[in-house]
């Protein structure tokens, strides 16, 4: 669900599909209206999450691909400008992800036991003139080991 704002009145949602497509949908009295549709990934989408300030959205796929978008969630629900993308190491299969409460990083939990924390990209630091691929993103990683009895 896209967080409620004065412009969207809490009637917009984002849906990710197995085809890698994202649809931004508005719920109206007449039914559903697709506001924006774009392909974010080659693989199924795990989810889409929004920063608290509604200036950035991030999508993730089951294959460990992550895509950041600049948005304007306060006034234009159709703005999703691609910023950068990256692939998590170690054949990560993302299960879930969440923005940290400080809104400066995102935590990704993976099926292989790894947890990755990525700092929110600053648009001024990203050069996407040739490619959206984010070279050397600041990632912290931890391996969670479960004891077996």
Model confidence pLDDT, tens digit, residues 87-117: 998 778 899 999 999 999 999 999 988 999 9
Count of domains for the chain: 1
CATH number of the domain enclosing 123: 2.40.10
pLDDT of 13-29, one tens digit each? 899 999 999 999 999 88
Asked if residue 15 is part of any domain, the answer here is no
Q: Which residues lie below 8 Å from residue 146, measured CB to CB, with a gap of 6+?
A: 113
Asked if residue 40 is part of any domain, the answer here is no
Asked if residue 25 is part of any domain, the answer here is no
d(CA 64, CA 87): 6
Asked if residue 65 is part of any domain, the answer here is yes
pLDDT, average across residues 41-55: 94
pLDDT at 73: 78
Domain of residue 110: give its range. Answer: 50-142
Burial 57-71 (b: 16+ CB within 10 A, else e): bbbbbbbbbbbbbbb
Asked if residue 60 is part of any domain, the answer here is yes
More confident residue, 147 or 45: 45
Work out the pLDDT band at 1, boundaries 50, 70, 90: low
Asked if residue 110 is part of any domain, the answer here is yes
In DSSP terms, 34 is beta-bridged to 25
**Is the dihedral angle over the CA atoms 95, 140, 15, 38 positive or is it negative?**
negative
71 by DSSP, 3-state: which? Answer: strand
What's the N-to-C CA distance of the chain in angstroms?
40
φ/ψ (deg, to 5) at 61: -110, 165
pLDDT at 44: 96
Class of residue 75 by CB neighbours under 10 A (exposed 0-12, middle 13-18, buried 19+): exposed
CB 107 within 8 Å of CB 100: yes
Asked if residue 37 is part of any domain, the answer here is no
Asked if residue 14 is part of any domain, the answer here is no
Distance of CA 109 to the CA centre of its chain: 13
């Amino acid at each position: 669900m896209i967080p409620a704002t004065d412009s969207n009145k809490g009637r917009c949602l984002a849906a990710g599909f197995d085809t890698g497509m994202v649809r931004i949908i508005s719920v109206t009295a007449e039914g559903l209206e697709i506001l924006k549709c774009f392909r974010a990934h080659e693989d199924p989408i795990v989810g889409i999450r929004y920063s608290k300030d509604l200036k950035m959205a991030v999508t993730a796929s089951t294959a460990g691909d992550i895509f950041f978008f600049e948005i304007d969630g306060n006034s234009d629900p159709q703005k999703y400008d691609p910023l950068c993308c990256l692939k998590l190491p170690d054949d990560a299969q993302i299960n879930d992800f969440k923005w940290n409460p400080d809104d400066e990083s995102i935590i990704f939990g993976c099926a292989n036991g790894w947890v990755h924390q990525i700092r929110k990209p600053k648009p001024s630091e990203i050069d996407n003139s040739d490619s959206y691929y984010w070279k050397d993103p600041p990632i912290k990683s931890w391996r969670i080991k479960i004891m077996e009895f």
